[in-house]
Amino acid sequence: MNRLLSGVSAGVIMLVCAMGAASAADLPGKFEGVTIDAKLIGGQQYEKLYERIGEWEKATGAKVNILSKKNHFELDKEIKSDIATGGITWCIGSNHSSFAPQYPDIYADLFGLVPSEEVARFVPAVIDASTLEGKLVMLPRAQFDVSALYYQKSLYQDEAKKAEFKAKYGYDLAPPDTWAQVSDQAEFFAAPPNFYGTQFAGKEEAINGRFYEMLVAEGGEYLDKDGRPAFNSEAGVRALDWFVKLYKSKAVPPGTTNYLWDDLGQGFASGSIAVNLDWPGWASFFNDPKSSKVAGNVGVKVQPAGSSGKRTGWSGHHGFSVTESCGSKEAAASLVWWLTNEDSQMLESAAGPLPTRSAVWDHNIKAAEGDAYKTEVLQAFQEAAKHAFPVPQTAEWIEISNAVYPELQAAILGDKTSKEALDAAAEKATGILEDAGKL
Give the model confidence (pLDDT) of 84-104 as tens digits: 998 899 999 999 988 898 888
Q: What's residue 22's pLDDT?
A: 55
Cis status, amide bond into 28, omega within 30 of 0: yes
CA distance 200 to 203: 9
* pLDDT on residue 10: 37
| CA neighbor of 137 nearest in space, from 173, 112, 167, 117 | 112
Note the maximum CA span of the chain: 71
Taking alpha carbons only, the member of 30, 68, 427, 66 closest to residue 232 is 427
pLDDT, position 350: 84
pLDDT number for residue 204:
92
74 burial level (CB within 10 Å; 0-12, 13-18, 19+): middle
Q: Residues 283-312: pLDDT tens digits?
A: 989 999 999 999 999 999 999 999 999 999
Domains observed in the chain: 35-145+316-378 (3.40.190.10), 148-312+394-436 (3.40.190.10)
* Cβ pair 131, 12 in contact under 8 A: yes
What's the pLDDT score for residue 120?
A: 94
- Could you tell me how far CA 428 lies from the centroid of its own chain? 25
Q: What is the pLDDT of residue 378?
A: 86
Q: Give the Cα separation of 164 and 160 in Å (integer).
A: 6
In whole angstroms, how far apart are CA 99 and each of 9, 70, 137? 21, 14, 11
390: preceding bond cis by omega (within 30 degrees): no
pTM of the model: 0.76
Question: Which residue ranges in the chain fall short of pLDDT 50?
Answer: 1-21
